[in-house]
Amino acid sequence: MSEAVARRSPLRHLLQENKLTGVAVGLFGLLVLVALLAPSLVPHDPLATNAAHSVEPPSAQFWFGTDEVGRDVFSRTMVATQLDLGIALSAVAISFAIGSVLGAACGFFGGWLDRITARLVDTLMAFPLFLLAMAIISVLGNSTANVVYATALVNLPFYIRMARAEAAKLRGSGYIEAARLAGMGPAQLLTAHVYPNILPPIMVQISLNLGWAILNAAGLSFIGLGVRPPVAEWGIMVADGASLIVSGAWWVSLFPGVALMLTVLCFNLIGDGLRDVLDPRRVT
Amino acid sequence: MASASLWRYAARRVLLALPALAGVVVVTFVITRMLPGDPALYYAGQVDSFASVDEIRHRMGLDRPLPLQFVAYVDDLAHGDLGQSLSTGQPVGRELIQRLPASFELMASALSLALLIAVPLGVMAATRPGSWIDHACRLIGTAGVSLPTFFTGLLLIYVFYYVAGWAPAPVGRFPSFMRPPPSITGMILIDSLLAGDLDKFQAALGQIALPALTMALFALAPLTRMTRAAMLGVLSSDFVRQARANGAPRLHLLFVTALRNGLLPVVTTLGMIASSMLGANVLVERVFAWPGVGSYALDAMVSLDYAPLQGFVLVMSVVYVLINLGIDILYGVIDPRVRFEA
């Protein structure tokens, strides 16, 4: 039995152990497909307004109905996938790239670099995350790029801390000692032996973080920070429908809201599945 | 003797919180100086002619070197001066204090509701691993963190206000046709009880139900998850088995013997939950037109009035540092071992 488990590839193991994770991976594939293809496939122009079709319920012509200025909710929801996924992926990529390298260096070398970074991390963590993101965007100005920077900066401390803790744990381990005795320099040790080995636990963090980053970006645009209307973005679309839902027009908010929810759920399920495989001690 | 060690522990924690507070003040200062818009220009346009912008800048101290400006900023903060809102003309500090009870009432109700549901649910799931309640618990744990608060709020409004008609109009914390009870604590639920006015209490309860539920759903997921995981660990430990063998009654065993130890990791997650609740609060206040500090900051921001936003972020971050301090101290109260660690 244990031999069979050992021989299975990690991905197959992941999918067979937990059916839900398999579903989530499938959903992620679908999302990527939609993000890539939607702009050229949707039936209507996501930005085209049409006063004759204002706030119409779902129909054969408008599958998800229309919003207050007559834009097609289906086309907008699909097209927004690209922007929302893009924001989350780039924000997480930035915090991962900077955070893991800086954290690993801090944990491995220690010293003044570590002390200064620790102070900066503590200061960032003293703020409630979403409010810090709000403040940063109000300084930098409303734009999609600034949402990415703010989200990346707010997440940075988690990557630094995690990479630092893992690297500090590895520093004294036997195989590092052996490589050092074999004549490897510190920079080579860090890049060849420490950095690759801190990555698995960080992968889990990345997946869970992607979900959070999308929620964060959508929340910011919901309150009018960041992505600017009339661009199709899930948070803005939910906000567009907020005043209509009290009078019964549920479709304007519902479809982008559900898309947002499914995407976040997808990342969280993948993260849980990854954790079960990569870090069996923390299975809950 | 135990209390002496607790005091020493608490004092050390307070000292450790000071750098975090200083960091918050420095960062908000930097943010203030980088915010778009020139306050001197604004005042010049309002009060004087354009020719005297330099003079106003001088009067406001904006031409001094940054370190001096920082000293002045800290001095203002020490006097509770957070600047003036350009749109209302009122001091930001006073307006924040007026609106703080509304936000506090909402967050406290939401957190209590979440704890009341999450802790029993987590305990029950841990006692019956693999049962339907355990699966429900795991589902809540994953699905709950995936919910966008602003979207669940709107869904609840649609279902309970528009379709079912059970909830009052989702605007504000008290029906506009009623006179609110005399303000004592600023929290309407408590004030109406103090005034002995049950009608008003019921009206306020109706208004707060949906926003509090929205926020509670958000906090529920991590709480349930942590309670379940912690209780699973504790229930299989030796001292619980010993207590069970000695014939301890089941409920006492679960909720007193085991839960006290299981609570430790739950208390640590409270800090994280506080951070996300302070953020979610802004969104929920926006959805339900709740007149708290979050809506205040957002309303000001729309008219490019940044002093309220900056005061809001500063005050909330200070509150957050204090919450974390409180959690650390609580940790020392629950678990005497941490008091003696270096």
- pLDDT, tens digit, 9 for 90 and up, residues A150-159: 999 999 999 9
Start-to-end CA span in chain B (Å): 18
**E strand residue ranges, A124-207:** none
Structure tokens of B16? 């450790």
What distance in Å separates residue A181's CA from the closest CA in chain B? 34
Domains of chain A: 72-282 (1.10.3720.10)
Residue B45 pLDDT greater than 60, yes or no: no
Residue B46 pLDDT greater than 60, yes or no: no
Name the band, by pLDDT with cuts 50, 70 and 90, for residue B43.
Answer: low
**Residue A13's pLDDT is what?**
64
B269: CB partners within 8 A, 6+ apart: B222, B223, B226
Q: Once rounded to an integer, what is the mean pLDDT over residues A242-250? A: 86
Helix axes B132-145, B92-127, angle to 10 degrees: 150
Q: Report the chain A residue with the minimal C-alpha distance to residue B170.
A: A246
**Average pLDDT of the residues of chain B:** 83
Residue A242 pLDDT greater than 70, yes or no: yes
In the block, tokens 């609570």 appear at B263
Q: Report the chain B residue with the minimal C-alpha distance to residue A248.
A: B162
Interface of B with A in 313-342 (CB under 8 A): 313, 316-317, 320-321
* Predicted TM-score (pTM) of this structure: 0.86
Question: Who has greater pLDDT, A126 or A149?
Answer: A149
8 Å CB contact between A220 and B279: no
Q: What is the ipTM of this complex?
A: 0.85
**Average pLDDT of the residues of chain A:** 86
8 Å CB contact between B270 and B327: yes
Q: If DSSP codes are grouped into helix, strand and coil, which group holds residue B85?
A: coil
Q: Say what percent of chain B tops pLDDT 90.
A: 17
C-beta atoms of A257 and B306 within 8 A? no
**Residue A238's pLDDT is what?**
93
CA distances in angstroms from B294 to A150, A232, B68, B70, B339, listed in the order given: 19, 25, 31, 26, 36
State pLDDT tens for residues A21-57.
888 889 999 999 998 988 888 888 888 888 888 878 8
Residue B59 pLDDT greater than 70, yes or no: no
* Length of chain B as a residue count: 342
What distance in Å separates residue A188's CA from the closest CA in chain B? 34
Name the band, by pLDDT with cuts 50, 70 and 90, for residue B48.
Answer: low
C-beta atoms of A268 and B274 within 8 A? no
Closest CA to A214 of A253, A255, A259: A259
User: In chain B, where does DSSP find H-type helix?
Assistant: 2-34, 39-46, 53-59, 66-78, 92-127, 132-145, 149-156, 188-194, 198-235, 238-245, 250-252, 259-287, 293-302, 306-334
Q: Which residue, among A77, A269, A284, would best test binding to B if mutated, counting the most B CBs under 10 Å from its CB?
A: A284
**Residue B41's pLDDT is what?**
61
**Residue B100's pLDDT is what?**
92
**Residue B70's pLDDT is what?**
83
Give pairs for B77-84: CB < 8 Å, separation 24+. B77/B25, B77/B314, B82/B307, B82/B310, B82/B311, B82/B314, B82/B315, B83/B307, B83/B310, B83/B311, B84/B307
Interface of B with A in 69-98 (CB under 8 A): none
**Residue A47's pLDDT is what?**
84
Structure tokens of B208? 């707060």
Name the band, by pLDDT with cuts 50, 70 and 90, for residue A215.
Answer: very high
How many CA atoms lie within 13 Å of B90's alpha carbon, on the beta-carbon side?
12
What distance in Å separates residue A14's CA from the closest CA in chain B? 17
Domains of chain B: 1-87+305-342 (no CATH), 107-170+208-302 (1.10.3720.10)
What are the chain B neighbours of A250 within 8 Å (beta carbons)? 158
Range with the largest mean pLDDT of A90-94, A248-252, B95-99, B202-206: A90-94
A33: CB partners within 8 A, 6+ apart: none
State pLDDT tens for residues B303-323.
777 788 888 988 999 899 998
Residue B330 pLDDT greater than 70, yes or no: yes
Residue B299 pLDDT greater than 50, yes or no: yes
Residue A178 pLDDT greater than 70, yes or no: yes
Bond prior to A230 in cis (omega within 30° of 0): yes
Q: Once rounded to an integer, what is the mean pLDDT over residues B114-123? A: 90
C-beta atoms of B148 and A264 within 8 A? yes
Interface of B with A in 176-235 (CB under 8 A): 225, 228-229, 232
**Residue A12's pLDDT is what?**
67
In the block, tokens 């990569």 appear at A278
**Residue A15's pLDDT is what?**
64
Helix axes A234-245, A73-109, angle to 10 degrees: 130
What distance in Å separates residue A9's CA from the closest CA in chain B? 26
**Residue A1's pLDDT is what?**
39
Closest CA to B63 of B33, B29, B25: B33
